[in-house]
Amino acid sequence: MNNIEIYNETGKEIKELEIIKKLVDFAIEYEKLDNLVFNIIIVDNEHIRDINKNYRNIDRSTDVITFALEDNKDFPNMPYRILGDIYISLDKVEEQSKLYGHSFLRELAFLTIHGFLHLLGYDHMNSEDEKVMFSKQELILNEYGIQKNS
């Protein structure tokens, strides 16, 4: 049993959140996982900038930030995996969907899966890891039916 919560802290309506929930369920199945707990929190640029500044010492907004609890080796073992939180900037979703020429849904889905994979320990700090992570993102999105430039 998984417990994934999506919080919209922007005050703006986001019709695509139901699709995002189904996409996350699909990604969990795709990865053959179960008993996961994590949150997806949709915020604005100002909020994500504050998080970026306070936790990464980078004073600018970004599109997605994850807090992976399993990165902490002292985190206790539980009968379920508490992965952490994914913060996504709604402003960046809107901006980047226009910049990259695809739909709002595609950008929101991409950032959600990107954050999910970070929570699972994937990373893109070097070109080899980036290739693994980005191909997995595309596989999940394509398998679910959310194509590039859609």
Task: Note the pLDDT tens digit of each residue in 76-100.
Answer: 677 788 899 999 999 999 999 999 9
CA dihedral 144, 113, 89, 84 (to 10 degrees): 140
How high does pLDDT run on average in the chain? 93
β-strands 36-43, 81-89: how paired?
parallel
Picking from 108, 89, 107, the residue whose alpha carbon sits closest to that of residue 149 is: 107
Q: How many CB atoms lie within 10 A of CB 72?
A: 10
**What confidence tens digit (pLDDT) does each residue in 31-55 have?**
999 999 999 999 999 999 999 999 9
Cβ–Cβ under 8 Å, residues 149 and 101: yes
| CATH entry 3.40.30.160 includes domain 3-144 | no
Longest CA span, the chain: 43
**What confidence tens digit (pLDDT) does each residue in 49-58 have?**
999 999 999 9
pTM: 0.93
Domain ranges of the chain: 3-144
pLDDT classification of 147: cutoffs 50, 70, 90:
confident
CA dihedral 71, 3, 11, 144 (to 10 degrees): 90
Beta strands in the chain (DSSP E): 3-8, 36-43, 64-68, 81-89
- Range ranked top by mean pLDDT from 25-29, 131-135, 145-149: 25-29
> Who contacts 40 (Cβ-Cβ below 8 Å, separation ≥6)?
4, 5, 6, 7, 20, 24, 85, 86, 88, 112, 115
